[in-house]
Structures are given as C-alpha cells and as structure tokens.
Amino acid sequence: MPKHIAILGAGPGGYVAAIRAAQLGARVTVIEQQALGGVCLNWGCIPSKALLSVIELGDKLKKAEDLGLLLSGPPRYDLARMVARKNKVVASLVKGIATLFNAWKIDVVDGRGRLVDARTIAVTAKDGSQRQVQADAILIATGSSWPQLAQFPVDGKTIITSKQALDLESAPPRMIILGAGVEGCECSSLFSGLGTQVTMVELQSAVLPLEDEEVSVLMARELKKRGVDVRTGTTIQEAQVRDGLVVAQLKDGSTVEAEMLLVSIGRGFQSRDIGVEAAGIALGKRGEILVDDRMETNVPGVYAIGDVVGKAMLAHVASAQGKVAVENIMGHPTAIRYDVIPAGIFTLPEVGRVGLTERQAREQAQAAGHDPEQAVKVGRFRYAALGKAQATGDITGLFKVIADAVTGRLLGAHIVGAHAADLIHEAALAIEQGATVSQISHMIHAHPTLAEGFVEAVEDVEGCAIHQMKKKS
C-alpha cells in the first residue's frame, strides 16, 4: 500500500510538494482553508506582478514618442480593469493547480487543519463539521501572515496591508508606505505609477536594506525619479486616523498625512493554533518551526517547509523545500542549499540577485584572516553600454558581480534593470557549479542581448570588458 502523506497548506510549498509526492508514488491529502496556491498566487507574487506589468507597459508608452511611436496622449490607467484582469489571471492559475491535483489523484480537504498528534490532523470545515486525516507522514506548509501591529490597527480601508492594496479599484491621492523592503518598494513602484503621491518610511538607512549597497542606492534614485518621497533612517512613532486621513508622526519630528497607510513591515509565522504543541514540535525564538536540512522537525515523520520555518521566505524556496521534504519521506535522501538562491524584486526597474553582496564577501574574507580589499574583486557593467538596451530604450541599470580574487570563483551577482529577475539565473547556475570568472568569460553570448551585460561585468573583474573604459591603475 502506498505511503500516505498529509500536507497542511496548499501554497507554493504545499502544492508543489503534493505533486512531487504523487509523482514518487505516495497517496496525498492536502488540507487548505483558503485557496490553492496560497498567499503567493492569490494575494502576493502573481497579483502584484500582474498589476506592475501594466505600469511597466505604461512607462514604455510614456517614452513612445522618443522611440518614434505616435500616440494620441499619455497613457491612462483603469485600476478597476487592471484588478479584474489580475483576478482572471489568478483564477486561471488556481484552476491549473486543481487540474494537476486531479491528474495526480491528490485529495483536497477544505477546512482549517490542526495536528492532534504526529500522525493525525483534525480538520474543521467552514460549516463547522469535523473530520480527521491520518497519515504516515505530515508536512506543515502553513506559511506566514500579514503584519498585525497594535500601533497600526489594520481596518482594510485607511490602514491596509498589501492584501487589501492589491484589490483597490481606485488609487488614493496620497499613500504612506511603512517599510522599504521588497514589498514596500514594489508597492511604491505600483502606486506612484498610478499617480499616487507616495511617502515611503524606512527605519534602516537605505531602501532595500538587505540588498547590495549599490543596488540600494540605485533603487532609491529611481524611486525618487518616480516621485516617491523616500525617508530613511526614521519610522512612524504614532499614526492616527482623523476625518478619513492618516496623520503619521515620524521619529525625525516631521508629520505626514495621507488617505492610506500601507503597513509593509514583517510577517508572522503561521505556527500558532495548528497543534504544534500537541505534536511536540519545537519552535524557535521567533515562532518558526525548527527543521534540519532534510526539512524534518524534531518529531520523526513530521516535516515543515516554506515561510513557517523562517529560512529564506521566498515562494520558490518553499517549492524547493517541498520537493526536498517529500523526497526524504519517500526514501530519496536529499538536502537543500541556501547559499545559491536567486531572487527577483519586481520594482521598476527590476532587481535580480544571487549569492553574496560585496559587503558580505569582504566580511567573510576578513573573518577568514584575509585582507578584505585584496581578497575580493568586483566587476560592473552599465545597461547603457549595451546595444540591446539602447535599441529598446531600457538603458537604466547595472550588472555587478563579486568574485574571489584568488580562485576566481563567482561569489555573488546583482542586476538592476529590465528583465533582471530573469537574467540572474545564469549567475545562479555559475555559482552553483563553482564557475570561475575565466570560465564564464569564455562562454559566448548572443548579440544583441541584455545577457551580454553579465559577461561584460564578469570580464570587468579583470579589467577586460570590451565595452568598458580602461580601469585606472
């Protein structure tokens, strides 16, 4: 009889794990209380990209006359129609997951699941009825939740999260965005494009504070070009709703008013009220479920993946973890690497990154007893020097690579510009395979393409980029 795996959650981790488990011969039951695809598909990754793609198109049209395309006037946005299209895209993808589940004979149980013990999940349906699912192994994929901060009570109208923001059918005249991380910067690109006066407030000294410093500087510059009022090194000490307006008192003493406040700081692990205590599952200090490199918890036969384990909180990481977990459950030992995870930030322009930032590389070199200035080499190449970028009008951007000065191995890559999130995967493969600067430089790239910028940046590590001015000695 095939092994039975019960999966709690059908987000990008849970549904991918379910399909892979079925492919490996398991009988699979998925328990989901909201919608197939989870937050990523229904209220996050896909909805935001569907809306941002329209703003990106609008940006292109604003340059149309310079490119020789004559239009009757500047582009105008119908946010209600944009949202309606977004909903169609989401519905189509959700239906696609359901079709795959049917094809692989994966059972779906609608309702809220809670572990009773290490082999049993109690499910409460929306109508209040209950049932139990018993399995040989359990995989927890409950994800994370939107911020719930007492000082910023979300009402869905004046104080909102990204969940409500992506369903707005009219853009507010003014918006305050608290947090300049990935979500905050993407929302700033979206709403500034729609004509909203955006004020973005960030406690750290830079936007995208976890990215490479040059990426942060470039992104701050581009957001300001879009009219975003970027305020770093401060935060909101108090926010009050008065006569339909949010009045925010900032730590630096200034006051900002807007029709909406979008809270975009932190996410909570969905480890509460799912029965981890009953099953004896250990949690970390932040409330994350602790797992080993096989994605197994301290309780044999109980695994966990995705945001709830507090590793790299990215949809594709959850999917990768899901595959690792079920492969181990099914007797195919494997582990996940966290040092080579590509990521995309869908701001305008996009950001792609993988591996170490320049600062991280130099800090690691210093910790190993090396001179950080001598142990690390950096190469750069501007989009504006690319024939393809000039031809298409996408000249804003930068390729940056970090390499080990002794071995020549690529340590990290950072791209800001058109299609950066797609272009970063060549660098990810190079780091995964331990490729050196010399090896990458010898790979012939098609012309004219944006990908040529990556190899030029790699060549620049040794001062050999063809379309780059000679480095000063």
Q: Please report, in range form, the residues annotated as the binding site for FAD.
A: 49, 113, 142-144, 307, 313-316
8 sits in which H/E element: strand 4-8
What is the rounded CA–CA span in Å between residue 419 and residue 35?
30
Question: What's the CA gap between 285 and 95, in Å, rounded?
Answer: 38
425 carries an active-site annotation? no
Strands 107-110, 27-32: pairing is: parallel
Contacts of 367 (CB under 8 A, 6+ apart): none
State the binding site.
Answer: 49, 113, 142-144, 179-186, 202, 266, 307, 313-316
Q: Degrees (nearest 5) of the Cα angle 121, 126, 131?
A: 30
Spatial separation of the C-alpha atoms in residues 206 and 180, rounded to whole Å: 8
Catalytic residue among 442, 445, 447, 467: 447
Please give the Cα distance from 177 to 258 (Å, whole number): 10
Distance between CA 55 and CA 418 in Å, rounded? Answer: 13
Within 8 A by CB and 6+ apart from 95, the residues are none
| Nearest by Cα to 428 from 389, 462, 454, 459 | 454
Which residues, 6+ apart, have CB-to-CB distance to 14 below 8 Å?
Answer: 7, 8, 30, 32, 38, 139, 141, 305, 306, 322
Q: Determine contact, residues 288/306, Cβ cutoff 8 Å.
A: no
DSSP symbol at 385: G
Given a contact cutoff of 8 angstroms between Cβ atoms, the answer to whether 164 and 156 are in contact is: yes
Q: Write the CB contacts of 103 (distance below 8 Å, at least 6 apart in sequence).
A: none
**Alpha-carbon separation of residue 252 from 149, 312, 376, 454 (angstroms):** 21, 32, 37, 40
Q: How many helices (H) and strands (E) does the chain have?
A: 16, 23
Residue type, 337: R
Binding positions for NAD(+) are 179-186, 202, 266
If we measure between CA atoms, which residue out of 341, 352, 269 comes closest to residue 306?
269
Sheet containing 229-232: which strands, arranged edge to edge?
159-160, 260-263, 174-178, 197-202, 229-232
Query: Percent helix, strand and coil across the chain, each rounded to 5?
Result: 35, 25, 40
Q: Which of the residues are catalytic?
A: 447
